Amino acid sequence: MSDLLRSAMSARLAKLPQLPPLGPEDEDTDDNLGPLPGSGLGPPAVPFKTASRRKRTPNADFAPISAQGYFSDALQVAVPARQLDVRAYYTAPKFAEGTVMVCHHGAGYSGLSFACLAQEIVGQAKGECGVLAIDARRHGKTRSTAEKEDEDLSLDVLVQDFVEILRAVFPDSAQAPTLLLVGHSMGGAIVVRACPLLLEHKFRVSGVAALDVVEGFAIEALPHMNSILNARPDGFDSPEEAVEWHFTTNTIRNSRSARVSVPSIIVPAADEKTSPHSWVWRTPLRSTAPYWSGWFTGLSAAFLAARAARLLLLAGTDRLDRPLTIAQMQGKFQLEVVNGVGHMLHEDDPIQVASILLEFWRRNDRIRLPPKVKSVGEA
State whether residue 57 is helix, strand or coil: coil
Per mean pLDDT, which range of 14-23, 145-154, 183-192 is the poorest? 14-23
How many domains are there within the chain? 1
Q: What are the catalytic residues?
A: 185, 212, 343
* Rounded distance between C-alpha atoms, residue 114 and residue 68, angstroms: 13
Q: Domain of residue 317: give its range.
A: 3-364
Position 336 pLDDT exceeds 80: yes
- E-strand stretches of 203-296: 205-211, 235-236, 266-268, 279-281
User: Which of the two residues, 192 and 150, has the higher pLDDT score?
Assistant: 192
Q: What CATH number does residue 207 fall under?
A: 3.40.50.1820
Q: Give the percent of the chain with pLDDT over 70.
A: 82
Pairing state of beta strands 205-211 and 99-104?
unpaired
Q: Is residue 139 part of a domain?
A: yes
Q: Are 165 and 77 in contact (CB under 8 A)?
A: yes
Position 225 pLDDT exceeds 50: yes
Q: Is residue 234 part of a domain?
A: yes
* Rounded distance between C-alpha atoms, residue 75 and residue 86, angstroms: 8
Per mean pLDDT, which range of 1-5, 275-279, 357-361 is the poorest? 1-5
Cα separations in angstroms, 356 against 180, 211, 311, 337, 362: 13, 11, 10, 10, 10
Averaged pLDDT, 153-171: 98
pLDDT computed for residue 150 by the predictor: 83
Q: Is residue 378 part of a domain?
A: no
Per mean pLDDT, which range of 131-145, 192-206, 305-319 is the poorest? 305-319
Q: Is residue 31 part of a domain?
A: yes
Q: Is residue 199 part of a domain?
A: yes
**Tens digits of residue pLDDT in 73-125:** 999 999 999 999 999 999 999 988 899 999 999 999 999 999 999 999 999 99
Q: Is residue 376 part of a domain?
A: no
* Rounded distance between C-alpha atoms, residue 48 and residue 250, angstroms: 13
Closest CA to 76 of 23, 127, 119: 23
For residues 242-271, b (16+ Cβ closer than 10 Å) or e, as one string?
A: bbbbbbebbbbbbbebbbbbbbbbbbbbee
Cα separations in angstroms, 294 against 118, 218, 225, 304: 29, 11, 15, 18
Q: Is residue 373 part of a domain?
A: no
pLDDT computed for residue 320 by the predictor: 86
* Rounded distance between C-alpha atoms, residue 92 and residue 100, angstroms: 7
Q: Is residue 20 part of a domain?
A: yes
For residues 217-238, b (16+ Cβ closer than 10 Å) or e, as one string?
A: bbbbbbebbeebbeebbebbbb
